Amino acid sequence: MYRIGVIGGGTMGAGIAEVAARAGGDVLVLERDTDTAYLARARIARSLTRAVEAGKLARADDAADRIAVTTSLDDFADRDLVIEAAPEIEELKIEFFTKLDAIVTPEAVLATNTSSIPVIRLAGATANPGRVVGVHFFNPVPVLPLVEIVATLKTDRAVLDKVTSYARDVLGKRTIESKDQAGFIVNALLIPYLLAAIRMAESGFASIADIDEGMTAGCAHPMGPLRLADTIGLDVTLAIAESLYQEFREPHYAPPPLLRRMVDAGYLGRKTGHGFYTY
Ligand code: 3HC
């Protein structure tokens, strides 16, 4: 797997493109238009500069030169592996899978970085569901070492082995294997915890600062749950909670009203400058 395609150059897509290029791959990123393509490039460039400053990378240019951004899905015809990292909107992802299936070669692998949508629903949009697999990265992608690998009931064993080996041996990540249920392993555990913290803030039980301090100073988490929700994005947190609630119908997955109101208000966390904190 050398020619890698990434659908979407947002936080996750840019991170995935960066690690694939840093591992020596030829990377193509799909963006909507020239403005968002510019933003995706800027995101990647910022992170590469940070990696150089942190002493993790010798030269930013080498990796940056291996990343191209396009606005045409047809350019993905020669990709060995395509990782979809579009927004968490099922219809949008399904549309990409249907189109990609007709564009790439029969040997190409189609992966999704979805946080919570059952992968089989995306695989079902293709003529060859055996080549569709979940490959779920964690934010910030260049820093966090984990990739969750999700096989559907129809994923070919060879495809699973291929992407696991790519994540481990080429990208240098650690992998865990999850069944194809909403949230997989990590978000099924993480999201109820974040929602519990939001409910705590909503009820006035404790202040935002004290809830976060409780988990950083008391449990050695690198950031508290409300700052983490801001970092993930409150819209993404809400979308994952909705998928989990739809799948399991358990109250601890139900998004609290405060989360919905903040998303309605456009307070999406770090990326918009407003969330539980101001950035
Ligand atoms: N490339 C490579 N390395 C980088 C880098 C980059 N672009 N940017 C930073 N680093 C390195 C730094 O050099 C440092 O390495 P060191 O520990 O060896 O010195 C390390 O990464 C940490 O960087 P910083 O010191 O700049 O930052 P902090 O110490 O403040 O940590 C953080 C920031 C990594 C974001 C940390 O707070 C953290 O891990 N937070 C939790 C994040 C988390 O839980 N993410 C998961 C979200 S859930 C998810 O993504 C799933 C999705 O579906 C929602």
pLDDT, tens digit, 9 for 90 and up, residues 123-135: 999 999 999 999 9
Nearest CA to ligand 1 atom 15: 54
For 22-60, write each residue's pLDDT tens digit.
999 999 999 999 999 999 999 999 999 999 999 999 988
Smallest CA-to-CA distance from 3 within 78, 83, 113, 97 is with 78
Q: pLDDT tens digit string along 208-249?
A: 999 999 999 999 999 999 999 999 999 999 999 999 999 999
Note the pLDDT of residue 16: 98
On whether the pTM is more than 0.85, the answer is: yes
Residues with CB under 6 A from ligand 1: 47, 50-51, 54, 56, 115, 138-140, 142-144, 187, 190, 222-223, 228, 232, 236
Letter string b/e over residues 107-123, b meaning 16 or more CB atoms within 10 A of that residue's CB:
ebbbbbbbbbbbbbbbb
Angle at CA of residue 63, ends 59 and 68, nearest 5°:
145
**Amino acid code (one letter) for 79:** R
